Chains A and B, each alone.
Chain A
């Protein structure tokens, strides 16, 4: 048999790894044909919505629902008193704490859920909400975590024993009634000693402000309890549908096989949709009570004010070095404001996430990190907004500390980074705070980045600009933002990562159909990442069937294998690995089938793109399509019919993507307006599955980084009122504010991942935030700036300039 087409064409036809295959999802998204949770409409479906607290801290002395129940269309109003007999007025959080589903005697943050109004539609529900009368008795409000740890005001009475003592929390002893945990990593005394004896020590205190992931689609669900067969179906914006199924089962007592959780199309998650929210619980209860499907959809203000904020980290650092700039030690303390309930979404053993990646890309021999979690009267959350657990905080911290040290040493910050990078030959590298970095080549990436942007030329231009500014020739100054980041993604090894006791493996199940097409189901769920495109590419390369003939399905717990979902850049590192491994199982069986068909020994055939060939006789082969058919129509001795495989993948380690970013910015010191002239992003995410999708992910992540660095915040006043509850004040950049990004790459595969891929969706956010911030801060460095907190919006930049005396 002779093939008509060349081997190159056969490779191209597969649209496998490495090609910029167009996103298969986009046809429906660009035509408005997506199926989001709010598109789900069921017969007799009701709508539920919340009465929310206007106060940040108050006793709830009475809830009068009588008028609301008279509003036409209102069927029920649930309060904590209704949920209490079911034990559902509180629910467990992912962080080992518990959280009120509906206000149980008091409210602890503005916007907290007080009652759930169930009505025939959302208009009636809104009228019902207006008619519920709640009596509040205001209590003193604490929005500052430092004040909180000193205050006599007890935020969580439920966490104080009757004798007034403070029982330990999920992560050990607590120091004060408003304190949640202390968590540490590294060696305290040796670090303090290094710092005490160091010739150079730079210090900084920085506040990484509270912000919010703000996906375009807010959170929501539809709960439908079928009382006849006892089955609960729950559609929702879940980043981890299986985990939600298990949690729902554990808290509701419904057996897990009777619960089906479906994540339909999801319009962005960025960490906002990992947690469990009151809306889910109340919808389920309301469906059980009414016997009808119940929908709950947040509006934008609900979303910004109540579900899952990100960051709110007060970080203090000391970094020690030799006069030549070799870093010898790093100390970091964090006061973490977790809000009213500890509902951070982190692996159970990591209450501060992977903050202990804060030694960054540098070979720092000695380090110590300590984090204190604290309650305040703010919304709960603390999720990883487009990053692996607290990695944005860690990278921001170290990339600022490097800049602050460079100032102290009067050194160029690019050079300081270079002399401290972990060297290529040191990988796998064991960091002082515990992690083992899998692979990297930082110097090559850095040199490429600096050469591309003509770093020396930029510095010369900046020096000229400073001179011109001082001479009164211009009011615009210029900043060169640098960042070099290392992420830790792909949680993760079951031995150290679990959520609520569920090990953080992931999974893929493949079925090859007789005609040579396939369906693969995964335990993850795309929220825009393009899994249906990229996972099919992995499989195409592994099993030799065209990506266009492979359906990828996720998000239905009745059909997909168990997995821990999509966040923390874990889909490619974990589920992507499972996909490759399942594909290899398919291939192993296909090899036996091919050998039988070709009448040779198993070891006499080898895989080649889309077929098995007899070694040394390329004209004797069986294509995967032929093999697939044979699997279903031949009685092959010793082989079961069919061609299916499943893999549950427990990664041996996490992956460590890295990158080098440079931002060139002009700043008007009078108006505080910033203009990004250039942004260069070099990413090394190991093996590149789809360059176009990588580029899209980088653009999106950088845009969210720009937002956070330059203005996106959830701000509270002293009374605990949210000041930024709408998109007028909460900064969501549009095409207008976004610069043209230049993307670039190096490829350093992960040695332990089956295809060497590391994950990229979050890198640009992690590396981008410090890069934008460093650009602003670098512009003011010649005028005496050492560190100024984000967000760098207009007035705060003006204030920076003002403090440095630049307004004459």
Chain B
């Protein structure tokens, strides 16, 4: 549990970060809260020769709540998400999800940017961002670009971000309707056995839109368009719930690990999604 030697850099701005990334290529890594990266370095599973600490980089903090969207700086911690009173009203699902991540100590350090950029299928924020149809701002040598969360994840630890880019912000269209983040885990500090993010709109007793994403049930987060579609137009009755669960099960591809065999994970995913939809609908 001792990392290999590395050089430590602490640039003051994005330009400085980009310059270091350009100079050192894939031997460099940016560090936000360090709560995914440092364990990997200690296990010597990630070889980082140049560690670029983002803590002093300006412009990466802050939560801005606009009329149609919310912008969250990459360095905003999970604890800040939880404590932000206006965010809790504008997008309560963020708080509900963040409270189910790790423990308070980790949440004081772990950032939203690190959580979504990491690419670990166990992270909770990526699925949530897909549910909310967020987009990520990436700054690179050729300037900024936006990538939709639903397009960002390619495989475990492989994302649309290239090595010379930094994620600077997350932008979320103002969520509407009822929400729920439901997560089954073995204990505090554990990644999900199965987790579901649901945002659903009730128009006079009929579901007019529904977005559903699942976590830790494939090598990437799973945005299940079909599961959401199964609810739209229904009164979210039992038949619609069954159809949504069935559609979701088509989209996930869990593997066996210490959390259990595939059959169990599929069963748990179904139960968790059903509960998430029911809770979200009750709030819609």
Contacts and interface: CB of A to CB of B under 8 A. Distances in A.
Interface of A: 122-123, 125-127, 130, 299-301, 670-673, 711, 715, 723-724, 727-729, 731, 733-734, 736-737, 793-795, 798-799, 802, 807
A125 B268 CA distance: 44
B5 A673 contact: no
A794 B193 contact: yes
A728 B192 CA distance: 11
Contacts, number: 66
Contacts of A799: 264
Contacts of B267: 670, 798, 802, 807
A301 B42 CA distance: 12
B186 A793 contact: yes
B271 interface: yes
Nearest to A734: B188
A140 to B, nearest CB: 24
A736 B258 contact: no
A671 B271 contact: yes
A749 B260 CA distance: 47
A672 B271 CA distance: 11
Given A671-B184, A794-B184, A794-B260, A728 B190 contact: yes
A301 B190 contact: no
A130 B44 CA distance: 10
B183 to A, nearest CB: 11
Nearest to A301: B1
A795 B188 contact: no
A672 B261 CA distance: 13
B45 to A, nearest CB: 12
A736 B184 contact: no
A123 B187 CA distance: 32
Interface in B1-46: 1-2, 4-5, 44
A123 B258 contact: no
Nearest to B263: A802
A789 to B, nearest CB: 15
Interface string B179-215: 0000010111111010000000000000000000000
28 contacts: A122-B2, A126-B2, A127-B4, A127-B5, A130-B4, A300-B1, A301-B1, A671-B184, A671-B271, A672-B264, A673-B184, A724-B258, A728-B191, A731-B186, A731-B187, A736-B187, A794-B184, A794-B260, A794-B264, A794-B268, A795-B193, A795-B260, A795-B261, A795-B264, A798-B260, A798-B268, A799-B264, A807-B267
Contacts of B193: 794-795
A273 B139 CA distance: 52
B187 A734 contact: yes
A805 B263 CA distance: 14
A733 B260 contact: no
B259 interface: yes
Contact of A299 (B1, B44, B189, B258): B1
Nearest to A123: B2
Contacts of A729: 258
Nearest to A302: B1
A123 B3 CA distance: 8
A798 B268 CA distance: 9
Contacts of B264: 672, 794-795, 798-799
B103 interface: yes
Contacts of B268: 670-672, 794, 798
Contacts of B187: 711, 731, 733-734, 736-737
A724 B259 CA distance: 11
A396 B283 CA distance: 47
B2 A737 contact: no
B234 to A, nearest CB: 22
A541 to B, nearest CB: 42
A274 to B, nearest CB: 24
Given A671-B268, A673-B184, A794-B193, A734 B1 contact: no
A794 B186 contact: yes
B258 to A, nearest CB: 5
A123 B184 contact: no
Contacts of B186: 711, 731, 793-794
Nearest to B268: A671
Nearest to B259: A795
Nearest to A49: B2
Contacts of B189: 727-728, 734
Interface in B85-121: 103
Contacts of B261: 795
B258 A734 contact: no
Contacts of B263: 802
A795 B261 CA distance: 8
The listed residue with most B CB atoms (<10 A of its CB), out of A125, A723, A793, is: A793
Contacts of A731: 186-187
Nearest to B194: A671
B271 A670 contact: yes
Interface in B234-272: 258-261, 263-264, 267-268, 271-272
**Which residue among B2, B190, B268, B272 has the maximum number of chain A CB atoms within 10 Å of its CB?**
B2
A122 B188 CA distance: 31
A802 B262 CA distance: 14
B110 to A, nearest CB: 15
B107 to A, nearest CB: 14
Contacts of A794: 184, 186, 193, 259-260, 264, 268
A291 B41 CA distance: 33
Contacts of A736: 187-188
B258 A737 contact: no
Nearest to B264: A795
Contacts of B259: 794-795
A56 B208 CA distance: 57
A127 B2 CA distance: 9
Contacts of B184: 671, 673, 794
A723 B258 contact: yes
Given A724-B258, A737-B188, 4 more contacts: A123-B5, A673-B184, A728-B189, A731-B187
Contacts of A125: 2
A143 B267 CA distance: 30
A795 B268 CA distance: 9
A734 B103 contact: yes
Interface in B218-243: none
A453 B110 CA distance: 44
A122 B1 CA distance: 10
* Most chain B beta-carbon neighbours within 10 Å: one of A127, A736, A795, A807: A795
Ranked 10 nearest A-B pairs via Cβ: A795-B260, A126-B2, A299-B1, A795-B264, A736-B188, A670-B271, A729-B258, A734-B188, A798-B264, A671-B268
B14 to A, nearest CB: 32
Nearest to A793: B186
A299 B43 CA distance: 11
Query: Which of A126, A127, A723, A736 has most B Cβ within 10 Å?
Result: A126
Contacts of A130: 4, 44
A618 to B, nearest CB: 59
Nearest to B122: A728
Nearest to A730: B258
A711 B260 CA distance: 12
A727 B39 CA distance: 12
A144 B268 CA distance: 30
Nearest to B261: A795
Nearest to B188: A736
A733 B258 CA distance: 16
A556 to B, nearest CB: 30
Residue from A122, A125, A671 with most neighbouring chain B CB atoms (10 Å): A671
A711 B259 CA distance: 10
B188 to A, nearest CB: 4
A737 B186 CA distance: 9
Contacts of B103: 734
B274 to A, nearest CB: 9
A473 to B, nearest CB: 15
Contacts of A793: 186, 260
Contacts of B258: 715, 723-724, 729
A125 B3 CA distance: 11
